[in-house]
Structure 1
């Protein structure tokens, strides 16, 4: 399998201000960015730099956007790998593929973002099939995380931290939790998103108890529907 076919090509640049985060998460990420900005100075004082971060919680609440924003803030390229796409029926091949990508990210000092960590980080022995092979794969991942250089940054994301092997979870110095946004937070999100459109398209029926990603899809679909309706009525009224 070609290494580059495993990497998700995404060059979208996002600033941290564009990511909707609660104050605690924003504070943690700002600290992380500052640590890597002043990494040499911190190392001179023998201070460790957090470089292994787990983004955990609900889907569609900003984990991938966060990874892109951190990379952008540091002026680094990002390597995105969805682990659900890499798992091979031959576990040994999967281990080799992951090692190659870790080596590439460390060599290039990139931000490495592993999405759906739970796909290969499941607790050893939690699956009856190929238990021995899965244990070796988890052990490989633990070793790669352990030896990942401090001047490179590893971000991992999962919607299901409860099924990840505890030995892997212990490797992350920083864990950031993503929850479904409150109605008040969603209103701020809707206001910001809709403000870029003419006022006549801003009055949509707002949905709540959904993720930011779902809210964005809903809002944009509503705006498109209103715009198309306007265009069609204009077409009908023309002689």
Structure 2
């Protein structure tokens, strides 16, 4: 597989209002989006734009969806790089290959989404023979982040920020934490999901103490079952 074969351009459009964030996180990301919109004006005052975001926290709570929504808001090309598969492919060539990917994103003023960013941290301690190579990779990534174009945007996501190299974490100007949703947040989310369906099938059991992704899967499964039941009744 070529280097670009690991890089996926995702063209899905996600509305900003469809992303569930706490007020603090939404305010900080709203500011980032506005900074990009007024980038040229800010440059006149030699003010840097925050263009490196680290999304961290619980799985299924909206990190990828948030990244896609930011891309939609900014109308920029959105590339996803799954570091797990990318690093595992040919570790000896990874530093060179990731440099090529950063160069491509910088040229296009695009958004690069580094999924499973913690894989760098995990890999460093897994096998003694790979430690030297992984250290070189981390150094390369740090250099690439430092030299990242101010007109491009880097978004990294991890469920395990505690195992990341401290020097890497320090490079991100914004760190947005994703927690498991409260019962109140899930209640609002269920209302948001169900309002698109006819009233007759909206009354379904709602689960709590789960992630947004689990809640969506649960509701959609129940709605599909009710719709199929209605269709089968009509056939009979």
Give the shorter-chain TM-score range: over 0.9
1:127 aligns with 2:126: yes
1:147 aligns with 2:147: yes
1:188 alignment partner, SS class: helix
Indicate if the aligned counterparts of 1:123 and 1:166 stay in contact, CA closer than 8 A: no
> In the aligned structure 2, how far is the partner of 1:96 from the partner of 1:60?
32
RMSD: 1.4
The one-character-per-residue Cα deviations of 1:13-58 (angstroms, maximum 9, x if unpaired) are: 0121110111111101100000111111111111121111100111
> In the aligned structure 1, how far is the partner of 2:176 from the partner of 2:75?
22
- Aligned residues between the structures: 235
The one-character-per-residue Cα deviations of 1:162-189 (angstroms, maximum 9, x if unpaired) are: 0000010010111001001001100100
> In the aligned structure 2, how far is the partner of 1:50 from the partner of 1:122?
27
Indicate if the aligned counterparts of 1:117 and 1:157 stay in contact, CA closer than 8 A: yes
Indicate if the aligned counterparts of 1:123 and 1:165 stay in contact, CA closer than 8 A: no
> In the aligned structure 1, how far is the partner of 2:88 from the partner of 2:65?
27
Report how far residue 89 of structure 1 moved.
5.2
1:55 alignment partner, SS class: strand
Report how far residue 123 of structure 1 moved.
8.4
Report how far residue 211 of structure 1 moved.
0.8
Report how far residue 213 of structure 1 moved.
0.8
2:8 alignment partner, SS class: coil
The one-character-per-residue Cα deviations of 1:119-138 (angstroms, maximum 9, x if unpaired) are: 124485x3343211111111
Write 1 or 2 for the structure with the bigger share of helix. 2
Indicate if the aligned counterparts of 2:55 and 2:63 stay in contact, CA closer than 8 A: yes
Report how far residue 233 of structure 1 moved.
1.7
> 1:214 corresponds to which residue?
214
1:18 aligns with 2:11: no
> In the aligned structure 2, how far is the partner of 1:22 from the partner of 1:36?
22
Q: What does residue range 26-175 of structure 1 map to in structure 2 within 5 Å?
A: 26-88=26-88, 90-122=90-122, 126-129=125-128, 130-175=130-175
> In the aligned structure 1, how far is the partner of 2:89 from the partner of 2:68?
30
> Any unmatched runs of 5+ in structure 1?
none
TM-score, normalised to structure 1, is: 0.94
> Any unmatched runs of 5+ in structure 2?
none
